[in-house]
């Protein structure tokens, strides 16, 4: 298994765990207000829509780990999405009343976005080069 596939699995399982913990903490609440929404670990605002997005991104990561090409695509695209969410969180922290993505989520999304995008971008050469045989 290549590094990009391992990272796809790690991030995928991490996002699934975060979603499940978010559902446990906040149930199916759709409160999107930064001040009143449930806070995961007391730091990160979540609601049912936010948790569902984490669950979907996590499932995608776990499914993508099956091939290095799919894992690389997952890392680049989901990393880009997390960078976009970090930017949106700066401007519209409650995403039109749908989900809270401001506060500490901005930093977390930026870190995830940079890490995922870097993994996807920097592992491209290993996926495209022919396999070497060990002598």
pLDDT digits (tens, 9 = 90+) for 53-100: 999 999 999 999 999 999 999 999 999 999 999 999 999 999 989 999
Exposure pattern of 79-90 as b/e (b: 16+ CB <10 Å)? bebbbebbeebe
Residue 108 placed within a domain: yes
The mean of the pLDDT values for the chain is 91
**Angle at which helices 104-122 and 3-26 cross, to 10°:** 160
**Residue 134's pLDDT is what?**
45
Average pLDDT of the segment spanning 18-41: 93
Domain membership flag for residue 12: yes
The neighbouring-strand residues paired with 39 are 45
Q: Tell me whether residue 86 is in a domain.
A: yes
Domain that includes residue 30, residue range = 3-126
Q: Is residue 24 assigned to a domain?
A: yes
In a domain, 133, yes or no: no
132 within some domain: no
Q: Predicted confidence band at 125 (pLDDT cuts at 50, 70, 90)?
A: low
- What's the pTM? 0.88
Does residue 88 lie in a domain region? Answer: yes
Q: How many separate domains does the chain show?
A: 1
User: What is the DSSP annotation of 67-103?
Assistant: SHHHHHHHHHHHHHHHHHHHHHHHH-TTGGGT----T
The answer to whether residue 36 is domain-embedded is yes
């Amino acid at each position: 298994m290549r590094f990009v596939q391992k990272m796809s699995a790690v991030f995928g399982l991490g996002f699934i765990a975060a979603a499940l913990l978010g559902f446990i903490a906040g149930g199916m609440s759709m409160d999107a207000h930064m001040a009143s929404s449930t806070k995961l670990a007391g730091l990160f605002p979540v609601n049912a829509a936010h948790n569902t997005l984490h669950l979907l991104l996590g499932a995608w990561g776990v499914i993508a780990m099956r091939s290095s090409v799919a894992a690389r695509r997952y890392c680049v695209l989901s990393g880009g999405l997390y960078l976009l969410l970090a930017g949106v969180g700066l401007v519209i922290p409650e995403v039109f009343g749908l989900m809270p993505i401001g506060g500490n989520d901005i930093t977390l999304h930026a870190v995830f976005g940079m890490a995922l995008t870097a993994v996807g971008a920097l592992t491209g050469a290993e996926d495209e080069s022919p396999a070497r045989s060990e002598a």
